[in-house]
Amino acid sequence: MVMNQWEEFLAPYKQAIDELKIKLKGLRKQYESSDKPSPIEFVTGRVKPISSIIDKANQRNIPFDRLREEMYDIAGLRMMCQFVDDIDVVVELLRQRQDFEVVEERNYVEYTKESGYRSYHVIISYPIETLHGQTNILAEIQIRTLAMNFWATIEHTLRYKYDGDYPPEIRNRLERAAEAAFLLDEEMSEIREEIQEAQKYYSRQKSNKHKH
């Protein structure tokens, strides 16, 4: 494909990212103006760089005329959560939306990848309005905790440097870091329960005081 064709091909993906970022960030804003704690910490989105699309298409033998159907993550969004339990809440919010359809879910939180990667992937079919009518594109939303995101970001950088072929020392450290991220998530979940119990306790005390 020449540059003009790429621009034309990527235009609906760019539009989808712009729209979805506003919509998903809007969810967080709605939580902020309610009295419920937000399960969403922050949202990011990007259109996959052309060079990465070409690399992935070559690795997976995807012909360019099948990219729209077979490459799910040309439009990619990430929703970061503080706690592991928030991930299920966010996934349920996505399932219930009327403005797109969830077409596939991949649960790498329960089924950790061999690399140590954890994240929940939701693939959606998203309708885009263009001058030539409506067209549906696929987008991938990755939902993960801050700890999962930290690990995945570092591992992704190293993956490029070593082309996935890590020296044993680095591989070992990455495994340990994945365990540490997992433990960090567990510890934080424990603290969350403590906080919620304390909040319940104090609100009970307060209402008792009012009664006497």
| Residue 107 engages ligand 0O2 in binding (rule: CB under 6 A) | no
Interface segment toward ligand 0O2; rule CB under 6 A; list 95-103, 113-121, 130-138, 182-190: 113-121
CA distances from 105 to 7, 64, 109, 130, 140 (A): 29, 24, 11, 27, 9
| 144 is a site residue for ligand 0O2 (CB under 6 A) | no
Determine if 152 is a binding residue for ligand 0O2 (CB under 6 A).
yes
One symbol per residue from 161 to 190: x for binding ligand 0O2 (CB under 6 A), - otherwise; what is it? ------------------------------
Gap between the Cα atoms of 111 and 108, Å rounded: 5
Joined together, the tokens standing for residue 152 give: 């995945």
To the query of whether residue 140 is one of the catalytic residues in this protein, the response is yes
6 within 8 A of 50, measured Cβ to Cβ: yes
Burial 5-40 (b: 16+ CB within 10 A, else e): eeeebbebbebbbebbeeebbebeeeeeeeeeebbb
Query: Can you tell me the distance from the alpha carbon of 134 to that of 99, in angstroms, rounded to the nearest whole number?
Result: 13
Q: Up-side HSE of residue 14: CA atoms within 13 Å toward CB?
A: 9
Nearer of residues 95 and 156 to ligand 0O2, judged by Cβ: 156
The interface region with ligand 0O2, picked from 15-23, 35-43, 84-92, 115-123 by CB under 6 A, is 115-123
Q: Which of 117, 137, 188, 192: binder of ligand 0O2 (CB under 6 A)? A: 117
Q: Is 52 one of the binding residues for ligand 0O2 (CB under 6 A)?
A: yes
The encoded tokens of residue 174 equal 């990455």
Q: What angle do CA 36, 121, 123 make, to 5 degrees?
A: 105
Q: How far is the CB of 48 from ligand 0O2 (least distance, A)?
A: 5
Which range in 34-42, 48-56, 94-102, 204-212 contacts ligand 0O2 by CB under 6 A? 48-56
Interface contacts to ligand 0O2, rule CB under 6 A: 48, 52, 56, 73, 76, 106, 113, 115, 117, 121, 152, 155-156
Residues designated as active site:
140
